[in-house]
Every structure is written in structure tokens, then in C-alpha cells.
Amino acid sequence: MGKLTTHVLDTAHGCPGKGIALKLYRVAKGGKETLVLSAKTNADGRCDAPLLMGKDMKTGQYRLAFEAGKYFKGMGVKLPKTPFLDVISLHFGISDAAAHYHVPLLVSPYGYSTYRGS
């Protein structure tokens, strides 16, 4: 059974990104977005359940939006009034609804990376 999971690693502090709010959107042709769910990462930087699973796991385009600016402010990081990174959006596609798609975010106040994990 296919599923979509994520986790956040705070590379500035060398720890999981605990308590980061995120939203998952399904993106239709033409760019119209539909909010699928809102969640927060747990103490391990992961969500307690898959973001998509079973019948909800569908092929198509998606966007994950992570509220990194709020997280770093909450960690006591001195950010400019307008942070360089605030909400980080990752656009990705699911081509096989039976597969496991893991979309991690490695983040600091001034940079991030992602990849398709397992």
C-alpha cells in the first residue's frame, strides 16, 4: 500500500524539527490547489501518521508547505524582520500510488534541501 511521509531535520541545531506546522496541498492542472491536511511534526521531527495512505494516495502534483520561519523564531534564532526563509514550499509529483514517497526537509534559517527518501 502506498503512502506519503515527511520529516524535518534542523541542520542549524543538529536536531529534529519539533513542532513545525505544515500543510499538504493537491495541485490540479492549471495550478488550483486543494488543502488536503494540516499537521505538526512531533519530537522526532516526523508526523504521527502518514500524510497520505490507502485510497487517499493518488497520483498527481502536490505541494508541502513548512512554516520554518515560525519554528526558528520559536527556537530563539534572531531573524530579520523579513526572514530569508519563512514558509518553504516543496512541489513534487506522485506517479505511483502504490509506492512509498518520503519527502524530508533539511533546513536552517538560510538554506534547505530535500530528496525522495525511503
Residue 109: name the closest of 17, 37, 4, 47 by CA: 17
| Structural domains of the chain in order of their starting residue, each with its CATH number | 3-114 (2.60.40.180)
Task: Specify the amino acid at residue 61.
Answer: Q
User: Model confidence over 18-44: pLDDT tens digits?
Assistant: 999 999 999 999 999 999 999 999 999
Contact 37, 57 (CB under 8 A): no
User: Model confidence over 57-106: pLDDT tens digits?
Assistant: 999 999 999 999 999 999 999 999 999 999 999 999 999 999 999 999 99
Backbone conformation region of residue 73, classed left if phi is above 0, alpha if psi is from -120 to 50, else beta: alpha
Average pLDDT estimate for 3-31: 97
In angstroms, rounded to a whole number, what is the distance separating the alpha carbons of residues 22 and 102?
15
Backbone conformation region of residue 74, classed left if phi is above 0, alpha if psi is from -120 to 50, else beta: alpha
- Give the per-residue pLDDT at 52: 98
Contact 11, 39 (CB under 8 A): no
Residue 63: name the closest of 108, 104, 101, 23 by CA: 23
pTM: 0.95
- Give the per-residue pLDDT at 118: 83
Average pLDDT estimate for 9-24: 98
Secondary structure class of 9 (helix, strand, coil):
strand
- Give the per-residue pLDDT at 4: 98
- Give the per-residue pLDDT at 1: 83
Q: How far is CA 106 from CA 51, 53, 117, in A?
A: 18, 23, 12
- Give the per-residue pLDDT at 48: 97
